[in-house]
Amino acid sequence: MKKDGHTHTELCPHGSGDSTAEMIEKAIELGFSEYCITEHAPLPKRFASEFRGNIEGLETASLKWSQLDDYFKLCANLQKKYGDVINIKVGFEVDYLPGFEKEIKQFLDEYGAQTQENILSVHFMKGADNGFWCVDYDTVEFADGFSNFLADPQNLYHRYLELIQQAVSANLGKYAPQRIGHMNLIKKYQDYFELPAKFDANNLELITSILNNIKIQMRELDFNTAGLYKPYCNEVYPGSQIMQMACEKKIPLIFGSDAHSIAEVGHGYHLTDFIEILDRK
């Protein structure tokens, strides 16, 4: 089955604004049989008071609460229009935020029954001024928020991976997302800041623990090709080390283009061949 498991919509405030219907039509043209719409879920309302980064980044990070009805209506119409041609699943890319587990669970409890597939991701991390900063907004925010950690990049990686571990371990209820998004997003600007290409032994030990938990919980990993096309990343998420370890543990890696535009739908799908190679080892 040819599946794109991670895509966004015309409602995404940091997206292209391209028609979601045309994105689905592109997927059909490319021969996909399953297409997952996973828009960024609204952030907890009190999160803004703990955010220290660029306000534009916060305001464009996700759907607004007032957009949820429009989102579900859009997706329902698309399922009705294209359902005979392609299996469209609807859900959210939910942000894991330490200290906000109660709000995240409440959101999932309320809206989870209306979804078929969800992703749990980490886009924000504590940094300067003991506040949250976005790890993938731009290089300026990354430097402002995490400059204290750049001298020891393996520690920077470790802090992010600890959040992934917390996300995997969090009790988010019956509708907890089954897939962990772009597990090494912290490396989005690795070339710009000359960060290490490989995780050190300490981080690999933590990654092993994370993957063991994912395996026990029968969850999946997002095989996200978007990073390969980012100017300072040039690597798929979750990267070769994690991919190999996940394949050894028989953890499913689900292709996701993370498309925010028509052009990005199915981008890099050919790289799934490497998963098959790793699975055969």
Q: DSSP per residue over the chain, as a string? A: --EEEEE--TT-TTS----HHHHHHHHHHTT-SEEEEEEEPPPPGGGGGGB-S-HHHHHTSS--GGGHHHHHHHHHHHHHHHTTTSEEEEEEEEEP-TT-HHHHHHHHHHHGGG-S--EEE--EEE-GGG-EEESSS-HHHHHHHHGGGTTSHHHHHHHHHHHHHHHHHS---TT--SEE--TTGGGTTTTTTT--SS--HHHHHHHHHHHHHHHHTT-EEEEEGGGGGSTTT-S-BSHHHHHHHHHHTT--EEEE--BSSTTTTTTTGGGHHHHHHHHH-
CA distances from 155 to 146, 158, 222, 265 (A): 11, 5, 23, 34
Q: What does the angle CA 214 – CA 218 – CA 221 come to, to the nearest 5 degrees?
A: 55
**pLDDT, position 280:** 63
**pLDDT, position 194:** 98
- Domains belonging to the chain, first-starting first, are 3-280 (3.20.20.140)
**pLDDT, position 274:** 74
Q: What is the pLDDT along the chain (281 residues), one digit of tens a residue?
A: 999 999 999 999 999 999 999 999 999 999 999 999 999 999 999 999 999 999 999 999 999 999 999 999 999 999 999 999 999 999 999 999 999 999 999 999 999 999 999 999 999 999 999 999 999 999 999 999 999 999 999 999 999 999 999 999 999 999 999 999 999 999 999 999 999 999 999 999 999 999 999 999 999 999 999 999 999 999 999 999 999 999 999 999 999 999 999 999 999 999 998 777 666 65
Cα–Cα dist 230/38, whole Å? 20
Residue 267 CB contacts under 8 Å (≥ 6 apart), including other chains: 225, 226, 229, 257, 259
Cα–Cα dist 58/95, whole Å? 12
**pLDDT, position 211:** 99
